[in-house]
């Protein structure tokens, strides 16, 4: 029987690449996103059994609808990938966009993490991967303040949950993918004018799945990024925030 994976935010970028690589590994898939046409086109192009589930996960009711649809289906891997970003000075960015960011990056992820892990415990095992960001490993991110804060929540929640499961000797695995810049449409949606150099979605997802296989709690794709994240922990918080601000400010320059 084929393994079964669920991917949120599957219509583009990292989510679509998870779908491609897991399909090539023989997984049956449930692809979740708002954009029905993109989901159907992706599902039709994959060499495995794929279902689509159209939902706006910013709505807690839609998160619960997804969990209800999965209640009787054993899950091998759940990729909590749906997310968004907002770039700009905090006093100038749109409050509505920031609240929408928090609805997806924090509230939806929290609801789905709790619901899925409870289901994985009932079924006796399985894996959940939350897609965070290297931003979540930094003290702060001037000019992407809400985004950095939301990803810090993802890192902290996942790390705490992983330790609870370890102490309980649970067979359930949870991990957090913490990529740096990835070449996707994220920058366009987040109003980034000048994207920073990044890695391909293919490389990012290969690293992610290798990390899941090794049951790593925090997965940082690529040695250069991992080294940079380790080095920044040695810096004073104020200096680290200043450096992050200088880097993020470059994104605003057209």
Residue 187 pLDDT exceeds 60:
no
pLDDT attached to residue 190: 45
Burial tier of 244 (Cβ tally within 10 Å: 0-12, 13-18, 19+):
buried
CA distances (Å), 178 to each of 75, 149, 175, 217, in order? 23, 14, 10, 10
Segments making up each domain of the chain, as ranges: 4-252
Q: Which two tokens stand for residue 197?
A: 């150099």
pLDDT digits (tens, 9 = 90+) for 145-185: 999 999 999 999 999 999 999 999 999 999 999 999 887 66
Which pLDDT belongs to residue 5? 99
Find the mean pLDDT for residues 213-218: 97
- The count of other CB atoms within 10 Å of the CB of residue 14 is 24
pTM for the model stands at 0.89
C-alpha 126/C-alpha 77 separation (Å) is 6
Please report how the helices 201-213 and 13-24 are oriented relative to each other, as an axis angle in degrees rounded to 10.
60
pLDDT of 33 higher than 70: yes
pLDDT over 60 (residue 254): no
The band of 208, judged by pLDDT with boundaries at 50, 70 and 90, is very high
Give the H or E element holding residue 33: strand 28-33
> 63-67, 95-99, 126-130, 189-193: which range is least confident on average?
189-193
Mean pLDDT (the chain) is: 91
Superfamily of domain 4-252: NAD(P)-binding Rossmann-like Domain (3.40.50.720)
Q: Which of 18, 197, 167 is nearest to 7 (CA)?
A: 18
Quote the pLDDT of residue 238. Answer: 80
- pLDDT tens by residue, 88-145: 999 999 999 999 999 999 999 999 999 999 999 999 999 999 999 998 888 888 899 9
Read off the pLDDT band of 196 (50, 70, 90). Answer: low
Q: What is the pLDDT of residue 249?
A: 76
* 199: confidence class by pLDDT, cuts 50, 70, 90: confident
CA 99 to chain CA centroid, Å, is 18
Question: Which residues are identified as catalytic?
Answer: 147, 151
pLDDT, position 22: 98
């Amino acid at each position: 029987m084929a393994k079964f994976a669920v991917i949120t935010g599957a219509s583009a970028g990292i989510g679509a690449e998870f779908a491609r690589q897991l399909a090539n590994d023989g997984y049956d898939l449930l692809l979740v996103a708002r954009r029905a046409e993109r989901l159907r086109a992706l599902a039709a192009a994959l060499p495995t059994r794929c279902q689509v589930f159209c939902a706006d996960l910013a709505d807690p009711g839609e998160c619960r609808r997804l969990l209800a649809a999965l209640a009787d289906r054993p899950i091998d891997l759940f990729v909590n990938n749906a997310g968004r970003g907002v770039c700009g000075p905090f006093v100038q960015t749109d409050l509505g966009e920031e609240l929408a960011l928090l609805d997806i990056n924090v509230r939806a992820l929290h609801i789905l993490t709790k619901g899925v892990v409870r289901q994985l415990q009932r079924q006796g095992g399985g894996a959940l991967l939350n897609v965070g960001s290297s931003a979540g490993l930094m003290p702060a991110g001037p000019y992407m303040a809400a985004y950095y804060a939301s990803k810090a929540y993802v890192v902290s929640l996942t790390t705490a949950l992983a330790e609870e499961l370890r102490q309980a000797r649970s067979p359930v695995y949870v991990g957090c993918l913490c990529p740096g810049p990835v070449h996707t449409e994220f920058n366009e949606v987040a109003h980034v004018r000048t994207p920073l150099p990044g890695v391909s979605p293919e490389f990012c997802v290969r690293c992610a799945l290798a990390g899941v296989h090794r049951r790593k709690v925090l997965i940082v794709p690529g040695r250069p990024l991992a080294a940079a994240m380790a080095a920044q922990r040695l810096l004073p918080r104020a200096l680290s925030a200043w450096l992050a601000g200088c880097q993020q400010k470059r994104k605003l320059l057209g």
